[in-house]
Amino acid sequence: MKYRPILCSALISVVLCALTPQAFGQASPVSGDSGFRAGLSLGYLSRVLNLSEEVEDVIPKMTSLLASLVLEYEFRPGFSLSAHVGYSSSTFDGLTFRRLPYSLEIDTDSGSMGGILLGAEVEKSVLGGAAFGVDIRGQFFASLGFNKEWKISGLAVEGSAKGKPIWMKASVGPVLTYRGWQGITPFLYPRFDYLWGNFELGQTVQDLKGNEKKDIKGKSQFGLGLGADFELSASLRFRAEAGLYPRQGGLDYSFMIRTLLAF
């Protein structure tokens, strides 16, 4: 987890830049368009996991469906903070737990696992022009999984297992925008993207009990987002974004759509 201090420092730097009106030589913009927006965000991600302590027969992987309510406050044009509260449904594949009384594998047949989704975003415009602009965006999301229980088949006696995943994702990077089209602002979002967490699994087979916690992290730590903001009206905004995460041996991906309504 050596990248966590670096990532935390980067996110703090984003906030400090956002709170400094003269950052990068830009004067504080007028505040006529500031205010609240609320909406809905839907997303999907597919990430290969890195289990550094062992070699797996199956490539470990996590997919997750994300849905959240979004509340955004724009302090002034070009500087906004957002909060997310919602639900996540995550599916894991290729996680083998060998330190239990009986070895178990969590795969796609184990089904999805729900959880509470919490998140926060900060975005600050640092350079702007008639056609091109540069923002800095920082994001953090946490999925706090619920306990799920499975019956263990194939044993002469009854047995059960109970698991709970927790994962977090933080990213920070520049957002390169093109503002030459009215109502549509395409953007490119290269970013440092770090996913980490753990999966805890407990097992009970008659008098035998065991517990194992496995640390997980995304194999890719760099992402590239390509998307666009659509101003559908003076109060309604829509965003669509696709993300790619290059890694050794392949490519992970994500999708996100969001609507925001001013009030």
Q: What is the DSSP string of 237-249?
A: EEEEEEEEEEETT
| 254 in Cβ contact with 202 (< 8 Å) | no
Q: Match 């699994």 to its residue by tokens.
A: 201
Q: Closest Cα to residue 141, out of 110, 187, 172?
A: 172
Count how many residues are written for the chain. Answer: 263
pLDDT at position 6 over 50: no
In this prediction, residue 157 carries a pLDDT of 87
Give CA torsion, residues 107, 109, 110, 113, to 10 deg.
90
CB within 8 A of 177, min separation 6: which ones?
132, 133, 134, 135, 185, 186, 187
Report DSSP state, residue 11: H
Protein fold of 4-17+36-262: Lipocalin (2.40.128)
- 3-state SS, residue 111: coil
Q: Which residues pair with 35 in a beta bridge?
A: 74
In this prediction, residue 120 carries a pLDDT of 98
In this prediction, residue 154 carries a pLDDT of 81
- 3-state SS, residue 172: strand
Other CB atoms within a 10 A radius of the CB of residue 5 amount to 9
pLDDT in tens, 84-135: 999 999 999 999 998 999 999 999 999 999 999 999 999 999 987 778 999 9
pLDDT in tens, 172-194: 999 999 999 999 999 999 999 99
- 3-state SS, residue 130: coil
- 3-state SS, residue 65: strand
- Domain spans in the chain, listed from the N-terminal domain onward: 4-17+36-262
CB within 8 A of 13, min separation 6: which ones?
none
Other CB atoms within a 10 A radius of the CB of residue 261 amount to 14
Mean pLDDT, the chain, rounded, equals 87
Other CB atoms within a 10 A radius of the CB of residue 243 amount to 21
d(CA 121, CA 130): 26
pLDDT in tens, 38-93: 999 999 999 999 886 655 667 899 999 999 999 999 998 889 999 999 999 999 99
Q: What residue type is 232 in one-letter code?
A: L
pLDDT at position 24 over 50: no
pTM of the model: 0.84
